[in-house]
Structure 1
Amino acid sequence: MFRDTQGRLLNTLRHDVPASLVVFLVAVPLSLGIALASGAPLASGLIAAVVGGVVAGALGGSAVQVSGPAAGLSLVVVDLVQTYGWRATCMITLLAGAVQLALGVLKAARAALVVSPAVIHGMLAAVGVVIALAQLHVVLGGSPQKSAVANLIELPGQLADVHGHKVMAGLLTIGVLALWTRLPRRIRAVPAPLAALLAAAVTAWAFDWNVTRIDLSSSGVQWAFPVLPQGDWHLVVAAVLLVALLAGCESLLCCVAVDGKHQGRRADLDQELTGQGVANMVSGALGGLPVAGVIVRSTANVVAGARTRCSAILHGVWVLVFALGFGWSIALIPMEALAALLVFIGVQMVNLGHIRKVHGHGEVPVYVVTMVTVILLGLAEGVLAGIGLAVLLALRRLTWVTVLKRDGRDGRLHVTVSGSLTFLGVPRLTRELRTIAAGTPVDLDLNIDFMDNAAFDTLHSWRLDHERTGGTVDIDELHDEWYALAASGARPRPAKKSLPVEPDRWWLPWDQRRRGPGRRTVLSNGGSVQVECQLTAGAREYHRRTAPLVRPIFTELARKQQPSHLFITCADSRIVPSLITASGPGDLFTVRNIGNLVPRRGAEPRDDSVVAAIEYATQVLGVRTITVCGHSGCGAMAGLLSAGVRAGSLPGLRRWLRHGHHSLAAFIETEGDRLHSGALDVLCRVNVQQQLENLRTYRKVDEQVRAGKLELVGLFFDIATARVHLVPPLRATPSVKMSGGGVLAGEEWGA
């Protein structure tokens, strides 16, 4: 136990203490700037930083998230201070913390994530614009107006009446912030906000610039317990809920984002919300700003190497020590430099990366509406407008129906209806079906996950009318049988499938699919007409139909592969490993070559590609099974039987087939000189057995087989019957049981 305590202490000293100092250097200027933007006493920003670090850091559910005053809440605080006064605003913060605490105890944190990220990002971008416009007036030596529109209107006049030294201090701050990322890494160890404020303060002092100084003593009014807001209690409750929900959502989204930046313990969101609630109650009681998880400080914490919550707690302690012992130094910072820092932060809050993300998901309208409404009307109105639009778009997507029509080679019209068939999609469905000419033979594919009664009546009535006029309609339902069940009078299943089956008959060859990937006519650079190849068309079909279905699986597999089998098989185009083994992505580590050969250890000609795959599979991936799969009518084995005659004009193939000589020798030993009609397939099976023996020539493989940690399996695929046979090895091992005697014996599966 003593060793564990000592180890944790050393880990804290080595990683968390340095990280806490980095975050502290970032937190002090940002906390002062956010307090300035919020229209609150500057001391309130430092109080919130201390409470966010110590209380939220100790009680929260994330090991590395750092909490403190958040720029995203500054617009709310400004409005509250102007409406109710500072002490009443502190009470609203305290009550908002109580609401967060209750939601955390009720395990409601996940529900907060239902808010679209496009709304949050749009809100933060708007807050950044409003902050930048307001503080730009301070940088120019003036005073901010009451609204973003007023700030924008007054800006030309402010530019015409600039104040020299004040503007120079602001421009110097912005210049340092902009250039800091391009300096050498050792210099960048000092956080950019701290370096910019230091540069402005030192320059203003050295040249005796006429700038506005920060007076922390006058901003930190004597502490008094918060008072209840006076006014319409409905508006007060709305303000409490707004602060609670915005701070909670920002904290939880930050928590989720930070989880993706480190390898430690994942965050407990309910505990995090509880910790944020307690921190806001304490911050409000002490006269601090609302507290939330802050992505800038949290990212700096992770990058600096923090491992535990000690870093966040210590950063709060350092802020407290600084405020009590070195608060006088803040008076050296020009107010214009602090305002310039806020302008720079505001511009950065309009994150292009967020815009690209929401564009990829079709949520740009939500982002834009939220941003514009926040700027023009206010934060609460903007958030409500964004949420409302997001809900409407979600309903539209859920009820959107697509109807694709394509003429087939057999003269039939192929129609695919995709989406959720509800009464809202009936007008579009009816319009598309009416364009189909009478008497046309139609193949109708229903790629749907729901069908209500109105949609069924529409589709069924059209089908009866179309068949009455001489046409035919062949309906194929690719998922649940909504139409068939409704037509038979049975009750359809109400639930949707979480992962529907792939809508195309992907196992068929291209030329045998009723609806395979088409060949598109395209123009080359020279203007000539070309036909798109089947492979490119197939990839296009995959992206359109299959990729959305398998994306969740590949998202999980993207981090790491953990196959359980090494599968060695022939390069023959008729062998589809995933099909004949009913396996999926991530199951098989596959090696394919002519004749499914495994060169023996030290054999010539050398081939390290197969050996490398075996080494990687057994020593890195830790597979439990190596399977060698041969097949009937193998061309490589036919080449061996012909003594190389069939490979005469292929020198590379002749050299490669030398690795099959042991298989040919084993075949001759068992079959003698008798060559019969089935000799080729017998050699194919013997070859599988021989390759299992060749695997044992590698020491690591043999050791794992003898220890029972690795199993060697032989398979034979009979192409003509589409049956898979189990081929027993030549010698039994602890991990392989013989299933019968003789080369042809073995277990088989098939229809």
Structure 2
Amino acid sequence: MPTRTPARCARGDDDTVGTSRRDAHDEKRIRRRNRRVADFSASITVFLIALPLSLGIALTAGAPLQAGLVAAAIGGIVGGRLGGAPLQIGGPAAGLTVVTADLINVYGWRTTCALTVGAGVVQLVLGRLKVARSVLVVSPAIVHGMLAGIGVTIALAQLHIVLGGSPESSAVANIAALPSQLADPHPVALALSFVTVAVLLGWPWLRRLPGNTGRRLARIPGPLAAVGLATVLATATGVTATRVDLPSWRSHALPGLPEGPLLGLLAGLLTIAMVSGVQTLLSAVAMDKLTATRTGENQVPRADLDRELRGLGASNVVSGALGGLPVAGVAVRSSANVAAGVAVRSSANVAAGAVSRNSSILHGVWVLLAACLAVAVLERIPLAALAALVMVVGVQMVKVSHIRTVARHREALVYAGTFAGVVLLGVLEGAGIGIGVAVTVSLNRLTRTRITHESGDGVHLVRAHGQLTFLAVPRLSRALALVPEGSNAKVGLDGSFMDHAAFETLQEWRASQEARGGRVEVRGREGRRIAEPASSHTCSPWTPWRNHQCVRQHPGEHPAHTRQGQLLGGLRNFQRTTAPLVREELARLAAEGQRPSQLFLTCADSRLVTSMITSSGPGDLFTVRNIGNLVPLPGERTLDDSVAAAIEYAVEVLEVESITVCGHSGCGAMQALTTAGSTAADSALGRWLRHGAASVRRVTEQPGSAPRIPGRQSDALETLCLTNVVQQLEHLVAHPCVAQRVAEGRLELHGMYFHVGEAQTYVMDLRPRHSGGKECAPGTGTATVSGSVPESPAFLPVGPHAQLPGGGRLAGPVHEPYPHTTLRKV
């Protein structure tokens, strides 16, 4: 085959570089456009959900209806811009409805707005003090019980409006007035409410209908469909129904100076700050869980809770100053597409495909525009429809899954106490009752210790079930006194905690028994001896033997500095620390057999600890190690078929889904290949290293196509180590079983490089890309015109939360060079 001139090759390389840069620029522009489209679409979805909910929550709280729209707009714009959770949607929350309603009844609306501003200032200060994480120490049973109590209180109040009446001032009063309200319902309000509830609960089921019609309709948010249908029905029939009344913005009430007892005002301010803060921070944590599985360009940074608390504070300051409801961010899942307050908004924001905080900001802009331009449409909404919507929200705040969870963790009493306190007394009182019950339950668990004494075969057994604190010392002393002096005894501790008083009591009794000729053995929950060295080897994992400075040498044992002593010390450390942790998993693997999903082929170098750099455990990796991480080509004459046999076994028997070839820096095999006379050609090592000769030829003949690490110049040895990974991947795909699985799309091939000195892993993305009909000719690195061979693979950065090894799927046999290969840090 004729070769090209060096000048022409250089021009071809320049064209390739220019094309690659243009392609990269186009890809970046397309990604930005896709992100903008995704955020715009998500903002529309969230806006359609937020609009009816904001009006309904304002109605429930007894606030001006514009206050709900103000809070929704401010929560989206200010909270979205300043908050620390990018996909969090802020706005009026059902969890704050009861608190706000109580404050309005006692102090009036203008004072409530001032308290909202004060609560925002408190949240700003707490966010600046970086105490957001400490807020999450509140027991989940208290939070769930508080939300359930608020939900029941909301549902009881809205039930009166659904029946055509007016709610009372408290949940107890609403329960007392319910029989008379049920005896005289308003037919129109009841009918509109029934339609709203039926549509709201049945809307998600449209996805199960055959054909595309149901799925298309289901894209419309359930709250919008329910309220919209009730509004259309009321307008079309011309029935007399109380509707939304939005006063002119010119008469919109703004905050005034607080009036009332100082302690009461302070309690209200702190209640708003506490309830909205806890809900928002729990929401941010929930949003992290919802977006944790995203990969690639859709990844979202984890929430900065302190910044989120500051953003919430700023939102409440602005919302209160403009006459809006308190703002919170909530992300509780709901099976009926509606949840507490803005819960559905945050969840819908994720489900709709939002990728940045722009979706939240845009949603706030749409709410603001609707509040200014769509007043005539909003005033056609029946109040009964909004009441029915919020009533369903309240009912769904009582989640059976939460009750099961707290019951499973023996926190049902805390949940019940909080729930009853919120319903009967109020949110702040209920939270206080919940905290008191939680502390009482915890103290009871600390003191609930059962101590038993048994004897048999000349040995006395004292067993303590539970925590050993100073409160249990009298019972422990009585049980120990039952053991005769000088006799043999065993003490079993089944708890996880023993304070100083209990420890001293046990140690003094033990010393007294042993002084009188008895023998005492103290064991913990795992049957391990207490207060004795468990092993001669106590170093932390991954500590090299030469750095073991904590080896206790027992009489008769080999010295720690000898090879046998080091090996035995490592074995003892495994039996002491690791074996109890993996014994159950190994027993399962022994019974079920191995089913690894990965074949990991790497060098036998002792500095390369595969389980350490991959964080893998038993049964995860099917590992093949040899000198130089080499893969002999099929059909080559070799005295060792072990690598080919391992590949066939992994692919055909174990049916692995991925194969990774991992090289490393400072590889002795690669160094031997570049050093003349370092290895005898007729030796076993020399014959084996022949399988790496293709890598040397590749570097020599195609220097422009060598892989590289961005940001630094690789030396000759590192270049060969990197090239060898790519070359062995080509050898690997030449095996028939591998080529077949790759062609079927059932197997992925990955390249990986570990820099020993930096403890840094690099991964390669081998997805082939075409260059408009050009490809590199074999052995030249320049362009031809066949168009069937993949162009240079892309080497993409892999973040700390991405999946490893991070490479793409190798779509077919690769026997061509990979020019300009780049490696990125993990």
**TM norm structure 2:** 0.61
**Structure 1 letter corresponding to 2:113:** C
Corresponding position of 1:265 = 301
Q: Decide whether the 8 Å contact of 1:166 with 1:210 is kept in 2.
A: no
What CA distance in whole angstroms lies between the structure 2 residues aligned with 1:604 and 1:484? 45
- Measured at CA, do residues 165 and 224 of structure 1 come closer, stay the same or move farther in structure 2, by a change above 3 Å? closer
Corresponding position of 1:473 = 520
Shift of 1:292: 0.8
Shift of 1:432: 4.8
Corresponding position of 2:397 = 349
Corresponding position of 2:649 = 607
What CA distance in whole angstroms lies between the structure 2 residues aligned with 1:173 and 1:320? 25
Provide, for residues 332-378 of structure 1, a one-character-per-residue CA deviation record: whole Å limited to 9, x for no partner. Answer: 21111111111110111012222233334332222221111101111
Q: Does 1:312 align with 2:360?
A: yes
Match of 1:287 among 323, 326, 333: 323
Corresponding position of 2:660 = 618
Q: Decide whether the 8 Å contact of 2:227 with 2:385 is kept in 1.
A: yes
Shift of 1:481: 10
**Structure 1 letter corresponding to 2:232:** V
Q: Does 1:425 align with 2:455?
A: no
Q: Decide whether the 8 Å contact of 1:567 with 1:589 is kept in 2.
A: no
Shift of 1:458: 2.7
Shift of 1:246: 1.4
What CA distance in whole angstroms lies between the structure 2 residues aligned with 1:33 and 1:117? 27
Q: Decide whether the 8 Å contact of 2:599 with 2:650 is kept in 1.
A: no
Which range is displaced more, 231-240 or 317-326?
A: 231-240
Structure 1 counterpart SS, 2:522: strand
Which range is displaced more, 109-118 or 266-275?
A: 109-118
Shift of 1:122: 1.2
**Structure 2 letter corresponding to 1:444:** V
Q: Decide whether the 8 Å contact of 1:59 with 1:272 is kept in 2.
A: yes
Q: Decide whether the 8 Å contact of 1:60 with 1:272 is kept in 2.
A: yes
Shift of 1:460: 3.7
Q: Does 1:217 align with 2:247?
A: yes
Corresponding position of 2:433 = 385
**Structure 2 letter corresponding to 1:616:** S
Shift of 1:418: 7.0
Match of 2:141 among 96, 118, 126: 118
- Measured at CA, do residues 332 and 396 of structure 1 come closer, stay the same or move farther in structure 2, by a change above 3 Å? same
Superposition pairs of residues 637-648 of structure 1, within 5 angstroms? none
Q: Does 1:78 align with 2:101?
A: yes
Provide, for residues 358-399 of structure 1, a one-character-per-residue CA deviation record: whole Å limited to 9, x for no partner. Answer: 334332222221111101111000111212333344455566
Provide, for residues 397-419 of structure 1, a one-character-per-residue CA deviation record: whole Å limited to 9, x for no partner. Answer: 566656588889x8745556576
Shift of 1:31: 0.4
Provide, for residues 273-304 of structure 1, a one-character-per-residue CA deviation record: whole Å limited to 9, x for no partner. Answer: 11111111110111000011132211100100
Corresponding position of 1:154 = 177
Corresponding position of 1:68 = 91
Shift of 1:563: 11
What CA distance in whole angstroms lies between the structure 2 residues aligned with 1:381 and 1:267? 31
Q: Decide whether the 8 Å contact of 1:65 with 1:298 is kept in 2.
A: yes
Corresponding position of 1:200 = 230
Match of 2:409 among 361, 371, 374: 361
Q: Does 1:373 align with 2:421?
A: yes
Q: Decide whether the 8 Å contact of 1:176 with 1:192 is kept in 2.
A: yes
Superposition pairs of residues 509-658 of structure 1, within 5 angstroms? 539=584, 586=617, 589-591=620-622, 600=642, 607-609=649-651, 616-618=658-660
**Structure 2 letter corresponding to 1:23:** V
Q: Decide whether the 8 Å contact of 1:566 with 1:617 is kept in 2.
A: no
Q: Decide whether the 8 Å contact of 2:39 with 2:353 is kept in 1.
A: yes
Structure 2 counterpart SS, 1:475: strand
Shift of 1:616: 2.9
Q: Decide whether the 8 Å contact of 2:663 with 2:725 is kept in 1.
A: no
**Structure 2 letter corresponding to 1:270:** D
What CA distance in whole angstroms lies between the structure 1 residues aligned with 2:322 and 2:199? 34
Corresponding position of 2:221 = 191
Structure 1 counterpart SS, 2:205: coil
**Structure 2 letter corresponding to 1:332:** R
Corresponding position of 2:76 = 53
Corresponding position of 2:787 = none
Q: Does 1:179 align with 2:202?
A: yes
Match of 1:442 among 489, 492, 496: 489
What CA distance in whole angstroms lies between the structure 1 residues aligned with 2:449 and 2:725? 53
Shift of 1:542: 11
Shift of 1:172: 1.0
What CA distance in whole angstroms lies between the structure 1 residues aligned with 2:301 and 2:647? 50
Q: Decide whether the 8 Å contact of 1:567 with 1:590 is kept in 2.
A: no
- Measured at CA, do residues 698 and 306 of structure 1 come closer, stay the same or move farther in structure 2, by a change above 3 Å? farther
- Measured at CA, do residues 373 and 478 of structure 1 come closer, stay the same or move farther in structure 2, by a change above 3 Å? closer
Shift of 1:134: 0.9
What CA distance in whole angstroms lies between the structure 2 residues aligned with 1:456 and 1:599? 61
Q: Does 1:32 align with 2:18?
A: no
Structure 2 counterpart SS, 1:444: strand
Corresponding position of 2:151 = 128
- Measured at CA, do residues 470 and 735 of structure 1 come closer, stay the same or move farther in structure 2, by a change above 3 Å? closer
Q: Does 1:229 align with 2:271?
A: no
Q: Decide whether the 8 Å contact of 1:445 with 1:476 is kept in 2.
A: yes
What CA distance in whole angstroms lies between the structure 2 residues aligned with 1:107 and 1:416? 44
- Measured at CA, do residues 473 and 181 of structure 1 come closer, stay the same or move farther in structure 2, by a change above 3 Å? same
What CA distance in whole angstroms lies between the structure 2 residues aligned with 1:135 and 1:398? 43
Shift of 1:131: 0.4
Q: Does 1:16 align with 2:39?
A: yes
Corresponding position of 1:332 = 380
Shift of 1:70: 0.7
Over aligned residues, Cα RMSD in angstroms?
5.1
Structure 1 counterpart SS, 2:44: helix
- Measured at CA, do residues 343 and 58 of structure 1 come closer, stay the same or move farther in structure 2, by a change above 3 Å? same
Corresponding position of 2:269 = 240
Shift of 1:15: 0.6
What CA distance in whole angstroms lies between the structure 2 residues aligned with 1:604 and 1:392? 60
Corresponding position of 1:164 = 187
Q: Does 1:321 align with 2:351?
A: no
Q: Decide whether the 8 Å contact of 2:45 with 2:352 is kept in 1.
A: yes
Structure 2 counterpart SS, 1:132: helix
Shift of 1:20: 0.2
Corresponding position of 2:17 = none
What CA distance in whole angstroms lies between the structure 1 residues aligned with 2:601 and 2:407? 40
What CA distance in whole angstroms lies between the structure 2 residues aligned with 1:598 and 1:302? 54
Corresponding position of 1:454 = 501
Q: Decide whether the 8 Å contact of 1:247 with 1:292 is kept in 2.
A: yes
- Measured at CA, do residues 83 and 478 of structure 1 come closer, stay the same or move farther in structure 2, by a change above 3 Å? closer
Q: Decide whether the 8 Å contact of 1:67 with 1:292 is kept in 2.
A: yes
**Structure 1 letter corresponding to 2:48:** L
What CA distance in whole angstroms lies between the structure 1 residues aligned with 2:378 and 2:138? 39
Q: Decide whether the 8 Å contact of 2:93 with 2:327 is kept in 1.
A: yes
Structure 2 counterpart SS, 1:138: helix
Which range is displaced more, 230-239 or 121-130?
A: 230-239
Which range is displaced more, 180-189 or 91-100?
A: 180-189
Q: Decide whether the 8 Å contact of 1:16 with 1:306 is kept in 2.
A: yes
Match of 1:93 among 82, 94, 116: 116
**Structure 1 letter corresponding to 2:165:** G
What CA distance in whole angstroms lies between the structure 2 residues aligned with 1:175 and 1:420? 52
Q: Decide whether the 8 Å contact of 1:564 with 1:624 is kept in 2.
A: no
Q: Does 1:274 align with 2:310?
A: yes
What CA distance in whole angstroms lies between the structure 1 residues aligned with 2:182 and 2:250? 34
What CA distance in whole angstroms lies between the structure 2 residues aligned with 1:267 and 1:64? 9
